Amino acid sequence: MQRNYGEKFGRWSLRLDAAYCAVVGTAVALFSGQIAQGIAFSPLLIAAAGIAVVVWAGGIVWMLARLPLRLALRLVMVANVLAATAVGFASAAAATVLIVAAVVTVAVDVALFATSQAIALRKLPAQS
């Protein structure tokens, strides 16, 4: 039962992470001009980041289909820790407290995905 739970939880974590990345990345790319008004980055840089996040979403789906689950979880978890850190630092470039809160919220969301992947890894049986 534990193996089944770890596998199901891990797969759901990766699927939800990919969906989140696709939605947020698309929104960031589409609204980069408006986002740039509240944060000290160029619209082009923000749009490129949004597109990169959408591409990453596709990468997660690819990893889920092609790589062993344990490896996919580890790769995505490490990427999420790095992304949460980067997004957290980006909040320093925000113009208002509300925008800081929004950016920090995204960093927390990403960190929670990393946490869910760590939990899934712990629930998977040890490799033989």
The rounded percent of the chain whose pLDDT value lies above 90 is 77
Note the pTM of the prediction, 2 decimals: 0.89
**Digit-coded pLDDT (tens) for 3-60:** 578 899 999 999 999 999 999 999 999 999 999 998 889 999 999 999 999 999 999 9
Measured between alpha carbons, how far is 63 from 76 in angstroms, rounded to an integer?
A: 9
pLDDT (mean) for 98-127: 92
In angstroms, rounded to a whole number, what is the distance separating the alpha carbons of residues 17 and 37?
Answer: 27
Residue 96 has what pLDDT?
A: 87
More confident residue, 52 or 96: 52
Q: Which two tokens stand for residue 67?
A: 């790589």
> Does residue 98 carry a pLDDT above 90?
no
Supply the DSSP symbol for 68.
-
Q: Could you tell me if residue 9 is left (phi over 0), alpha (psi between -120 and 50 degrees) or otherwise beta?
A: alpha
Domain ranges of the chain: 2-123
For residue 94, report the phi and psi dihedrals to the nearest 5 degrees.
-75, 150
pLDDT exceeds 60 at position 61: yes
Q: Residue 97: enclosing H or E segment and its boundaries?
A: helix 97-123
Q: Is residue 1 scored above 80 in pLDDT?
A: no
